[in-house]
Chains A and B, each alone.
Chain A
Amino acid sequence: MEKQLDLLQGTLDMLILKAISLSPLHGYGILLRIQQISKERLEIQQGSLYPALYRLEHHGWITSEWGESENNRRARYYRLTAAGKRQLQSETERWNQMSAVISGILRATPEEL
């Protein structure tokens, strides 16, 4: 297994939005989904997931309702709102630009200067 990466500051919100944009999930499900997509390469502080969820809900980007889990337990499911969809889109764009710029800088060779 490759070494796990610490999550970059501020990216957790984006990952959560992405995770639940695919389907409504409960908190633990979100954790599993992110780990699954990232092939377990990202380390997420499990406890920090919930403040992020509360914050996103407070912003109105996600909403929640109580439902039944896979093993018939009461669990709180989160779903993206329209505002959340827009937010995810703009965050994704920003991230792509930023990573393109930064990787461009990091690839720079003496000849290019």
Chain B
Amino acid sequence: MSLWTQFGSWTAATLRSSRMEREMDEEMRFHIEARAADLAKEGLTPQAALRQARLEFGGIETAKGDCRDAVGVSFLETLLQDVRHGIRAMVRTPAFTATAIVVLALGIGANTAIFSVVDAVLLRPLAYRDSGRLVTILMNGDGPVAPANYIDWRDQSQSFTSMGAADYWSPNLTGVDSPEHIAGLKVTQSLFPMLGIEPMLGRLFVEGEDKDGADREVILSYRLWQRRFSSDRTVLGKPIVLDGNAYIVVGVMPQGFQFAPFWATKSELWVPNALGSRLHNRGGNSLRIFARMKDGVSLQQARAEIASVTGRLEQQYPGTNRNVVVTSLKEKVVGPIETPLLVLLGAVAFVLLITCANVAHMLLARAASRQKEVALRAALGARRGRIIRQFLTESILLGGLGGVAGLVLAVGATRALIAMSPANIPRVQTVSIDFRAALFLFSATILTSVGFGLAPALQASAVNVNDTLKEGGRGASEGFRRSRLRSLLVVSEFALALMLLVGAGLMIRTFAALENVDPGFNPHNVVSMIVSVAGSKEAEAGHREVFYRQLIERVQSLPGVQAAGGINHLPLAGDLWGWPFLIEGRPKPRPGESPIAVYRMVTPGYFKSMQLPLVRGRDLTEADNETAPGVVVINEQAAKQYWPGEDPIGKRICFGDDTTNPTAWLTIIGIAKDAKQDSWTDKATPEAYLAAFQNHDYLGDSGTEASNHMSYITLVARTAGDPATAAAAMKEAAWSFDRNLAISQVVTMDGVVAEANAQPRFEMLLLTIFAAVALVLASVGIYGVISYSASRRTHEIGVRMSLGASRSDVLVLVMRQGVWLAVAGSVIGIAGALVISRLMAKLLYGVQPTDPATFAAMAVALGAVALVACYVPARRAMQINPTAALRCE
């Protein structure tokens, strides 16, 4: 019978139930009276016949109840009955009920909170139209693309309905009360229509606006529009000043719109990308490419086509188009965070399993004390299925209350999670307890309730009516099956707890290893900020150098500042640019095989401020100016890699291919210690520090378009005391030159380091919390089992003691059981952890997934907790007075 017909039958039965009751009545009365009439014919008096007929018929109410059960009429009634009964049982044992609800709320709440994060971050499609068809095309799956390559891919491929490109651009917004450095993008006209999101106000860019000269338009994000333009609708059509140029506002995007999703995620404005003269550039990689696949084209097909297009182009232009990777946009956004989140989800599911086991314990213990009640009901004719159903109703009721409390907890936990989550988790701001999370909570509650309620229900219902009632509920011996089930629960709790402990232990080791990483520089008491001159009078060619020098001098002279310097991009926090170079006296390398180095531009004072030591050679000085010969400092890795067995100092290198220009050749004057560049766990890669005051682009007097790219400097200062105080003084110092300077990203190096390690810290913190909860629950579980079984064995212990067993014998007797459970659980746990730790290998650093020390330490810790948990009841058993124990029987 299908569920549906059953349901239909219930409803129909409920509707016609009064008629059914009447008919049932009549039918049974007819039966009894007909039987009585027959009996009367055999010679009984009418009264005797009626009594005899009733007796033969048996319990009318039982028969009616069975009839109702047969057609399902009583489903709702029985449910109500069971719920009433369950509530009474819960009120009778408030301590039990409260404990169970708290434990369940923790388990269910934590799971719902983590699920809501996983759902919002991993499971949901990106917030663009039909976002499953969007892809991104990048060099090596990660790096930017040259404009000419983009144009070729767009024109030579058939798999895509459209393709668009974005460049990072962070202009200064001036002309309004305070200047601000704003993150934004330059996008080709095709890009926004491809995303399928309509602007809230105004329009998107139209064809032709990404041509040179027609590109002075801007679309604002909702937040920027709110923050800087007070949500003023009349801003449409008006000009705003970006980097000193007027841009007309043509549109405002709706609230919640974010682009790009995996990089430049904080972009707040978008302007047309006029590729202009760069159209034929195959060298300057700066574009991120986005495309929408045609319907019916699979990712494999798109990849195959791009592979063949780029293969052709690589032949044509050697050294370009190598390893171009098409990735689904969603994969690109959530891929890096997938493993950590799934590990957390798994861990929190373990916590829920342990919760279930724990509540099952409690219910088993309670079921034992309810044996008499169950036996009585069974004697009165309740069937086993009926008793199981009642127990399950009770556990669902308990689980439901736990779920409601869990919901409250989940709302709070979700807020806490958002607050403490690392900034690099995409979409984390969209996390909330919504319908899907509620649905998850509901299913988790039901599954949990059945999970912890089924075993106790089955066991409770399997009573032997006669024995239980006769024994008067003394229950001297606990059934073997019941104790076996409880032991099984403890063993699985221990196994799960150990797996969580090992996971947390590995994360703690990882974090400790990360803390011990030497970044090369000393991050304590260093403060940094970006000072942008774009749009101010300091931006003028020839003036920047003077300004930068004066600014650094003034900062240096501030009280509390020990050293100050400038750099183009701060390590770990800023952008990273790789640049190929040539080494004097060596043959021109084949395309794609040029030596390459991370390219940083620094002022004298940078190394001192960061306390980044020079291993050899000298630091940059004020004397290394525009008129002096070009110099460069390289890092140890560059020296090792490109001058193996040679002394690089005094050798000359040239960035770019303008080898005939004598000023393009730079002499290596020093070797700096390797410093962390992009991420905390990077291996060292070659790096070159150029003198900013020798670089025309940087000083804005080269007259090229690139001059605006470098219209800012990252000030770095080492402070004697609190970096925050110094930061305020530094800002004032800068503004004392010009109020139009935009100052942004005021950070301490300690903060940057913490941010770089925020994700492992987050993972460590959550795993440690889960493991701690698991440890507590598991020890409560083993405590419960041992003290329960010790109390059940009071009589036995009394007998043993009166026969001469010493107190220590009793201690051993009771503890042995607990120790066996803990050992069995630990062995299974270690086996499980060996499998599971491998899954989290990606999260680990500086520690093997099978690290024996962590495994051993956690097993020992768990064992110690188990010993303590068993010792308490064992000690109590030891104190048993044999005479009293025997007498109380």
Segment among A68-76, A79-87, A96-104, A105-113 that sits at the interface with chain B: A68-76
Judge whether A76 and B23 touch: CB under 8 Å: yes
Q: How far is the CA of A96 from the CA of B26 in the complex (A)?
A: 37
Give min CB distance, A51 to chain B, whole Å: 3
Chain B 42-82 against A: per-residue CB contact (8 Å), 1 yes, 0 no? 00000000000000111110111011011110000000000
Q: How far is the CA of A75 from the CA of B57 in the complex (A)?
A: 17
Given contacts A48-B58, A55-B70, contact A69 B9 (CB under 8 A): no
Residues 17-68 (chain A) with a chain B CB within 8 angstroms: 26-28, 31, 45-52, 54-55, 57-59
Across-interface contacts of B30 in A (CB, < 8 A): 26-28, 69, 73-76
Judge whether A58 and B9 touch: CB under 8 Å: yes
Across-interface contacts of A27 in B (CB, < 8 A): 27-28, 30-31
Across-interface contacts of B64 in A (CB, < 8 A): 50
Nearest chain B residue, comparing its CB with the CB of A57 = B71
Is B34 in the interface zone, CB < 8 Å from A? yes
Q: How far is the CA of A45 from the CA of B55 in the complex (A)?
A: 10
Q: How far is the CA of A55 from the CA of B60 in the complex (A)?
A: 17
Nearest chain B residue, comparing its CB with the CB of A71 = B37
Residue with the greatest number of chain B CB neighbours at <10 A, chosen from A46, A49, A71, A74: A46
Across-interface contacts of A45 in B (CB, < 8 A): 58
Query: Is the contact region of chain B dominated by helix, strand, or loop, or is it mixed?
Result: helix
Q: How far is the CA of A55 from the CA of B471 in the complex (A)?
A: 38
Judge whether B57 and A46 touch: CB under 8 Å: yes
Which of B1, B58, B60, B70 is close to A54, meaning CB atoms less than 8 Å apart?
Answer: B70
Q: How far is the CA of A73 from the CA of B37 in the complex (A)?
A: 13
Across-interface contacts of A28 in B (CB, < 8 A): 30-31, 34-35
Residue with the greatest number of chain A CB neighbours at <10 A, chosen from B63, B64, B72: B63
Judge whether A54 and B35 touch: CB under 8 Å: no
Give min CB distance, A108 to chain B, whole Å: 34
Give min CB distance, B175 to chain A, whole Å: 81
Residues 524-559 (chain B) with a chain A CB within 8 angstroms: none
Across-interface contacts of B33 in A (CB, < 8 A): 73
Nearest chain B residue, comparing its CB with the CB of A30 = B31
Judge whether B70 and A47 touch: CB under 8 Å: no
Is B24 in the interface zone, CB < 8 Å from A? yes
Residues 664-691 (chain B) with a chain A CB within 8 angstroms: none
Nearest chain A residue, comparing its CB with the CB of B60 = A47
Across-interface contacts of A52 in B (CB, < 8 A): 70
Given contacts A28-B34, A69-B30, A73-B30, contact A46 B56 (CB under 8 A): yes
Q: How far is the CA of A28 from the CA of B24 in the complex (A)?
A: 13
Judge whether A47 and B34 touch: CB under 8 Å: no
Q: How far is the CA of A27 from the CA of B71 in the complex (A)?
A: 17
Judge whether A50 and B27 touch: CB under 8 Å: yes
Across-interface contacts of A31 in B (CB, < 8 A): 31
Which of A47, A55, A71, A76 is close to B63, meaning CB atoms less than 8 Å apart?
Answer: A47
Given contacts A45-B58, A55-B70, A58-B9, contact A50 B24 (CB under 8 A): yes
Give min CB distance, B12 to chain A, whole Å: 11
Across-interface contacts of A71 in B (CB, < 8 A): 37
Q: How far is the CA of A54 from the CA of B68 in the complex (A)?
A: 8
Given contacts A58-B9, A73-B30, A74-B30, contact A51 B35 (CB under 8 A): no
Judge whether B63 and A51 touch: CB under 8 Å: yes
Given contacts A46-B35, A46-B56, A69-B34, contact A51 B27 (CB under 8 A): no
Residues 1-43 (chain B) with a chain A CB within 8 angstroms: 1, 9, 23-24, 26-28, 30-31, 33-35, 37
Given contacts A26-B30, A58-B9, A69-B30, contact A50 B56 (CB under 8 A): no
Q: How far is the CA of A55 from the CA of B67 in the complex (A)?
A: 7
Judge whether A54 and B56 touch: CB under 8 Å: no
Q: How far is the CA of A54 from the CA of B72 in the complex (A)?
A: 10
Q: How far is the CA of A54 from the CA of B59 in the complex (A)?
A: 17
Judge whether B58 and A46 touch: CB under 8 Å: yes
Residue with the greatest number of chain B CB neighbours at <10 A, chosen from A49, A54, A55, A71: A54
Q: How far is the CA of A69 from the CA of B64 in the complex (A)?
A: 22
Q: How far is the CA of A48 from the CA of B56 in the complex (A)?
A: 11
Across-interface contacts of B67 in A (CB, < 8 A): 50-51, 54
Nearest chain B residue, comparing its CB with the CB of A58 = B71
Give min CB distance, A57 to chain B, whole Å: 8
Q: How far is the CA of A54 from the CA of B65 in the complex (A)?
A: 11
- Beyond the given pairs A46-B56, A51-B66, A54-B67, 9 more chain A to chain B contacts, judged by CB atoms under 8 angstroms and listed by A's residue number, are A27-B30, A28-B30, A47-B62, A48-B66, A50-B64, A51-B70, A69-B30, A73-B34, A76-B23
5 closest A-B pairs by CB: A51-B66, A47-B58, A47-B63, A55-B70, A54-B70
30 examples of A-B residue contacts, CB within 8 angstroms: A26-B27, A27-B28, A27-B30, A27-B31, A31-B31, A46-B31, A46-B35, A46-B57, A47-B62, A47-B63, A48-B63, A48-B66, A49-B31, A50-B31, A50-B63, A50-B64, A51-B63, A51-B69, A51-B70, A58-B70, A58-B71, A58-B72, A59-B1, A69-B30, A69-B34, A73-B33, A75-B27, A75-B30, A76-B26, A76-B27
